Amino acid sequence: MHSCSSDSESDVGKSPPRKKKVVRYEQKFIDSWLSDEKFSGWLAKSKKGNTYFYCSACDCDRTCGIQELTRHKNSSKHQANCKKIQKQPKLTSLFASTSKSQEPQQMAKVGEIKLACFIAEHNLAFNVASHLTNLIKSVCPDSKTAEYLSMSRTKARAIVVNVTGKTAEESLIKNLRENEFALLVDESTDKSTN
């Protein structure tokens, strides 16, 4: 019995064995990943730091590493987000198709309607119309659309009254029929019951 107590006394003075400190290596973002076909279209550098990557499809930042990139690429969430992005048309393609598909004469007509609406919206005199079209032609001499612009006060008034005015009137009538509204008359702050 005595020998057991001496063994326990000898253990008290000894410290427990030290654990080795694990050195953790953090992978930094490598620019060559951006040109890799597997990660093109969605991979970008993160703003969080150089040890993170940013996925534009999922709108998230993750820690760097080739295994982490591959794991994220193969995740079901990422693949679903990539399919959604592929189906969505690019904003630049919408503008390019409209400008190429329409002829300058057609675009000039649209421009004339917009100019007439500008004159009406800013409560300008219709006499300004011919001067405004001449100004646009002189500012944009290389524009095919500006070349076909021709509008005087008579045409501007006719567009506002017969084209945009009719459309606005129909829209207003439709809104009044479909939505409830109330009218306030003068003396709306009058508290009397008369």
Q: Is residue 179 helix, strand or coil?
A: coil
Average pLDDT over residues 180-184: 78
Q: State the pLDDT confidence band at 38, using cuts at 50, 70 and 90.
A: confident
Question: DSSP of 94-127, one letter per residue?
Answer: HHHHHHHHS-HHHHHHHHHHHHHHHHHHTT--TT
Model confidence pLDDT, tens digit, residues 45-85: 888 888 898 998 888 998 888 888 889 889 999 888 888 88
| CA-closest candidate to residue 55, choices 78, 74, 28 | 78
